[in-house]
Amino acid sequence: MAAPEQGIHGGVRADGGTIPAMSGLDAARAANRSRFARLVARPEPQIDLALGALFIASEGREELDPEPSLQRLDELAERVRVHLDLGDGTVRRV
């Protein structure tokens, strides 16, 4: 006997009942939660806090690509590093 079909398209349970199909948003949420769970299962020094924050922020959204946001955060961090390295004591908006 074949194993019951599962996934976002629904399927048949082992007892013969049906499994409702997931919406695209539900599938995106499940995938996002899975990525977050894998991230926080790492040893603490290996957890990327920015990526974790983006996974949390993307809850309820379909297909949020974290790369542009991570690149923007890196750009902002580099600007802050330059100001700190120069000893710039003036207050500036980053």
**pLDDT on residue 72:** 95
| Burial of 40 (C-beta count, 10 Å sphere; 0-12/13-18/19+) | exposed
**pLDDT on residue 31:** 84
pLDDT tens-place values along the chain, 94 residues long: 444 444 445 556 667 666 677 777 788 888 888 999 999 999 999 999 999 999 888 887 767 788 999 999 999 999 989 888 887 666 666 5
**pLDDT on residue 5:** 42
Q: In whole angstroms, what is the distance from residue 92 CA to residue 94 CA? A: 6
**pLDDT on residue 71:** 95
Contact 66, 72 (CB under 8 A): no
